[in-house]
């Protein structure tokens, strides 16, 4: 593990922060490139990216602190120490989406259309960010006695499931899948909803091997939230498609 990539005097460059910044940069670049093909101004995408990135970071930190409140209530100063990691993807997703929808409506852009444009960029950014998790030694898996095992937990030489690598590879594959379908002919928002469903499925799988917080029995917090997202996004697709079919039949 290499949580600190470089150090020049008192200045430290942390792997987690560097790859998180790279993830946002890559995601913003891809989104701006896709948006330009749809006639959407790059300046709007950059402003949207800044607003969503800030909201996602705040939401991700709040989500993580709430999940680990038993620790942070005793060490409140550590809440502001982001250099060592500690972000909840789902917390960032919730606040990021809320702010993104608000900003799109404020600038009179269709948030559903923007969801389709942004969708391929999110898993690509997530894949990059997981490399930072690997170097930081966080988000690791259970101990395993297998050739698959790697010492991926900071300060622990024992072999574990490299769930950071699992997540990075699966998110990259999800990016490829969504990017190839960016010109779909379904309703606005379809690709964004598809991302939510597929990411949640992949996250549920990774959580089987990841050492993370349990909610009820073998079900983990991230899995429970993923189940809710799958049901909500799937139901939305079903209702919208049904409404479109009914409208088409009526028009005939």
**Is 125 or 76 the better-scoring residue by pLDDT?**
125
Residue 170 CA: distances (Å) to CA of 35, 37, 119, 194, 198? 25, 27, 15, 15, 10
Model-level pTM greater than 0.85?
yes
pLDDT tens-digit map of 150-184? 999 999 999 999 999 999 999 999 999 999 999 99
Q: What mean pLDDT is predicted for residues 51-68?
A: 90
Distance CA 157, CA 144 (A): 12
Residue 247's pLDDT is what?
73
Residue 246's pLDDT is what?
77
Residue 74's pLDDT is what?
84
pLDDT of 210 above 60: yes
Residue 211's pLDDT is what?
94
Residue 141's pLDDT is what?
97
Distance CA 124, CA 105 (A): 25
Where does the pLDDT of residue 131 fall: very low under 50, low under 70, confident under 90, or very high at 90 and above?
A: very high
Helix (H) or strand (E) holding 24: helix 15-37
Q: What mean pLDDT is predicted for residues 13-18?
A: 89
Lowest mean pLDDT among 34-38, 77-81, 185-189: 77-81
pLDDT, mean over the chain:
92
pLDDT of 250 above 60: no
Residue 249's pLDDT is what?
55
Q: What mean pLDDT is predicted for residues 26-37?
A: 94
Taking Cα atoms as reference points, which of 171, 199, 24 lies closest to residue 96? 24
Residue 85's pLDDT is what?
62
pLDDT tens-digit map of 95-119? 999 999 999 999 999 999 999 999 9
Token pair recorded at residue 76: 């409140």
Where does the pLDDT of residue 83 fall: very low under 50, low under 70, confident under 90, or very high at 90 and above?
A: low
- CB contact burial 124-143 (16+ within 10 A = b; e otherwise): bbbbbbbbbbbbbbbbbbee
pLDDT of 225 above 90: yes
Distance CA 248, CA 252 (A): 6
pLDDT of 82 above 90: no
Residue 133's pLDDT is what?
94
**Is 27 or 3 the better-scoring residue by pLDDT?**
27
Distance CA 116, CA 183 (A): 9
Q: What mean pLDDT is predicted for residues 188-198?
A: 97
Q: What mean pLDDT is predicted for residues 134-162?
A: 95
């Amino acid at each position: 593990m290499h949580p600190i990539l470089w150090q020049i005097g008192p200045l430290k460059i942390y792997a987690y922060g560097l790859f998180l910044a790279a993830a946002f940069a890559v995601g913003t670049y891809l989104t701006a490139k896709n948006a330009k093909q749809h006639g959407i101004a790059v300046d709007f995408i950059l402003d949207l990216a800044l607003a969503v990135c800030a909201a996602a970071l705040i939401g991700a930190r709040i989500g993580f602190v709430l999940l680990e409140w038993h620790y942070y209530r005793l060490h409140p100063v550590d809440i502001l120490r982001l250099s060592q990691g500690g972000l909840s993807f789902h917390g960032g997703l919730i606040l990021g989406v809320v702010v993104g929808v608000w900003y799109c409506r404020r600038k009179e852009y269709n948030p559903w259309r923007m969801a389709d444009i942004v969708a391929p960029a999110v898993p690509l950014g997530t894949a990059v960010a997981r490399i930072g998790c690997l170097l930081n030694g966080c988000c690791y898996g259970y101990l395993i006695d297998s050739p698959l095992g790697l010492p991926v937990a900071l300060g622990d030489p024992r072999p574990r499931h490299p769930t950071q690598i699992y997540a990075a590879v699966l998110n990259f594959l999800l990016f490829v899948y969504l990017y190839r379908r960016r010109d779909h002919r379904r309703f606005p928002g379809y690709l964004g909803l598809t991302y939510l469903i597929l990411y949640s499925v992949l996250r549920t799988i990774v959580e089987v091997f990841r050492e993370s917080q349990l909610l009820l029995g073998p079900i983990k917090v991230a899995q429970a939230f993923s189940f809710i997202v799958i049901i909500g996004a799937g139901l939305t697709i079903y209702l919208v498609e049904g409404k479109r079919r009914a409208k088409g039949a009526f028009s005939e």
